[in-house]
Amino acid sequence: MKIFIINGPNMQLLGKREPDIYGSETLADLESRIGAIAEKRGFDVEFFQSNHEGDIVDKLGAADQNADAVIINPAAYTHTSVAIRDAIKAIAVPVVEVHLSNITEREEFRHTSLTAPVCMGQICGFGLMGYEMAFNALDKFLKK
Ligand code: DQA
């Protein structure tokens, strides 16, 4: 099973960026930890990070032909991007939204996700473990 793991803007700054909220692990740490878990579970993962909305839209479009599922942390675009929402809606593969932080307990503007309603579901507030939880959801969902 091939899974695209897409991380949005500023996720390349993990480890340095607001560590009290996002933790001290870097994006490379995230990718190696999640990569190892995926391998154990027999998932073939491809990581993609971009600060550019259109590139994320293109990657979601590519997922339709080249992946069985997507795990996405759209980061700040969660709260603003109709284009990413439409791209998720346009593809047939299941998409799980993940956030490291609990966006519902933060500033008001983070309470709205434009993307979650078109995803299979949203996981937030569990740090890196959220990506592993998304694997569990996809495993169950895709094996149905
Ligand atoms: C985030 C939450 C977003 O509100 C924020 O803009 C991010 C990271 C998270 O993983 O908690 O960049 O998606």
CA of 103 to the centre of ligand 1 (A): 7
Question: Residue 139: pLDDT band by 50, 70, 90 thresholds?
Answer: confident
22 catalytic residue (yes or no): yes
* Tokens read off for 121: 């579901």
Calpha distance 127→11 (Å, rounded)? 13
Q: Are the CB atoms for 22 and 100 separated by under 8 Å?
A: yes
pLDDT tens by residue, 2-23: 999 999 999 999 999 999 999 9
| Residue in 16, 37, 117, 124 with CA at minimum distance from that of residue 75 | 124
Calpha distance 12→28 (Å, rounded)? 9
99 catalytic residue (yes or no): yes
Quote the mean pLDDT of the chain: 96
Phi and psi for 80 in degrees, rounded to 5? -135, -20
What's the average model confidence in pLDDT over 36-58?
Answer: 96
To test the pocket of ligand 1, the residue of 13, 103, 110, 119 to mutate (highest count of ligand atoms within 8 Å of its CB) is 103
From the CA of 79, give the closest atom in ligand 1.
4
Say what the pLDDT of residue 125 is.
98
Question: Residue 141: pLDDT band by 50, 70, 90 thresholds?
Answer: confident
Catalytic residue (one of 52, 79, 99, 111): 99
